[in-house]
């Protein structure tokens, strides 16, 4: 597990948890930044031999230590693949590591994308069973949907097909909810106005139909949240991909421009060298030219010696070579 992946998980949880809260009806009671309850904070400070302190005064360093020791390590986050670690870590911070590990066990063996979906589905079912769901359910549902979408993105398993599938499920669940409402109306009961996936309809609740209507409404609403969260995650992925592509294009253009500059400089340098040679050649005197030619011919004498005097002794060959040189100068 890369450290950067852990940091990404922490960043997601910190965004979801927000700042200090003391919401009425919240069983966690007074809760500090990062979702750390006063009970967890008191336990942490006691383990450090420190005096109790208001959780609203918790520091970033303390949050980081609590996250790692109380939530990341108990779910064995370092051993989890990308995506599954986020699904379990966010669950652990929100509801405790015991519940998160329970969800992992119940998810069983499956490909990573399916495991993530199962963990998030189990988590949502657990939250829905709480008595505080009526008050906090919408916020929790959005959080679980966002967690699932981002976990799939981290696992490189999120595609537009997931979005389309979620939208299709949303449509089916809305249709099913309407059918349940119609069936309940046929059975008689009290007339109520209810919302199904954001749309208000009239429904008749009979004594035995209320639970079915509630389940149908919940499923429709849940699929609507998933579709919205998955769509946002895909848009973020596409935006990131476009930004990366633009960055690559920018770098490629800079490299091409630099290479063109280097090529131009090399061509200008070659022209300068040629110009210098031409100037030097035009300024060379006849004596210098004669000396240069003589030097060139002298350099050719060993070749003449080897070709014309192959049978002479070394001393004779040297004399003959000197004679040839003298004759050459006299001709000049």
Helix (H, G, I), strand (E, B) or coil at 198: coil
Check if CATH label 1.20.141.10 holds for domain 1-158. yes
Domain ranges of the chain: 1-158, 165-252, 293-331
**Can you tell me the distance from the alpha carbon of 226 to that of 163, in angstroms, rounded to the nearest whole number?**
8
Q: Rounded to an integer, what distance in angstroms lies between the CA atom of residue 305 and that of residue 327?
A: 14
Describe the crossing of helices 210-282 and 133-154 by its angle, rounded to 10 degrees. Answer: 30
| Pick from 144, 23, 51, 157: nearest CA to 93 | 144
Min mean pLDDT across 37-46, 129-138, 179-188 is at 179-188
Return d(Cα 149, Cα 162) in angstroms, integer: 9
Specify whether the CB–CB gap between 75 and 101 falls below 8 A: yes
With a CB cutoff of 8 Å and minimum separation 6, the contacts of 133 are 127, 140
Distance set, CA 131 to CA 23, 52, 121, 126, 285 (Å): 15, 30, 18, 11, 108
pLDDT confidence tier of residue 170, bands split at 50, 70 and 90? low
Q: Confidence band (pLDDT; 50, 70, 90) for 306?
A: low
Residue 186 — pLDDT band, cuts 50, 70, 90?
low
Residue 314 has pLDDT above 90, yes or no: no
CB atoms within 10 A of CB 8: 16
Question: With pLDDT > 70 as the criterion, what percentage of the chain qualifies?
Answer: 58
Give the model's pLDDT for residue 181. Answer: 54
3-state secondary structure of 181: helix
Q: What is the mean pLDDT of the chain?
A: 76
- Least confident range from 126-140, 179-193, 199-213, 260-274: namely 199-213
d(CA 194, CA 201): 6
Q: In angstroms, rounded to a whole number, what is the distance separating the alpha carbons of residues 298 and 265?
A: 40
Q: Which residue has the higher pLDDT, 43 or 250?
A: 43
Residue 213: name the closest of 179, 170, 188 by CA: 179
| Angle at CA of residue 48, ends 42 and 50, nearest 5° | 65
Q: What's the pTM?
A: 0.59
**For tokens 């230590």, what's the residue?**
65
């Amino acid at each position: 597990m890369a450290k950067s992946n852990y940091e990404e998980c922490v960043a997601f949880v910190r965004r979801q948890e927000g700042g200090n809260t003391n919401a009425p009806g919240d069983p966690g009671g007074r809760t500090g930044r990062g979702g750390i309850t006063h009970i967890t904070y008191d336990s942490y400070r006691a383990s450090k031999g420190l005096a109790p302190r208001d959780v609203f005064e918790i520091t970033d360093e303390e949050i980081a230590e609590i996250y790692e020791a109380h939530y990341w390590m108990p779910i064995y986050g370092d051993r989890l693949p990308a995506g599954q670690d986020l699904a379990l870590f966010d669950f652990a911070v929100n509801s405790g590591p015991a519940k998160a590990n329970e969800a992992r066990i119940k998810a069983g063996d499956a490909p990573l994308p399916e495991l993530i979906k199962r963990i998030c589905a189990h988590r949502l079912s657990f939250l829905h069973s709480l008595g505080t769901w009526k008050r906090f359910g919408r916020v929790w549902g959005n959080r679980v949907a966002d967690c699932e979408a981002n976990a799939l993105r981290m696992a490189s398993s999120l595609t537009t097909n997931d979005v389309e599938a979620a939208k299709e499920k949303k449509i089916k669940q809305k249709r099913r909810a309407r059918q349940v409402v119609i069936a309940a109306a046929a059975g008689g009961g009290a007339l109520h106005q209810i919302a199904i996936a954001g749309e208000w309809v009239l429904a008749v609740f009979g004594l035995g139909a209320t639970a079915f209507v509630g389940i149908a409404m919940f499923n429709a609403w849940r699929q609507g949240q998933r579709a919205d969260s998955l769509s946002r995650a895909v848009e973020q992925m596409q935006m990131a991909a476009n930004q990366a592509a633009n960055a690559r294009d920018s770098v490629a253009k800079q490299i091409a421009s630099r290479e063109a500059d280097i090529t131009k400089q090399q061509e200008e340098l070659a022209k300068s060298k040629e110009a210098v040679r031409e100037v030097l050649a035009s300024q060379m005197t006849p004596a210098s030219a004669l000396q240069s030619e003589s030097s060139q011919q002298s350099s050719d004498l060993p070749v003449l010696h080897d070709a014309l005097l192959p049978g002479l002794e070394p001393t004779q060959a040297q004399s003959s070579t000197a004679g040839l040189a003298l004759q050459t100068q006299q001709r000049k």
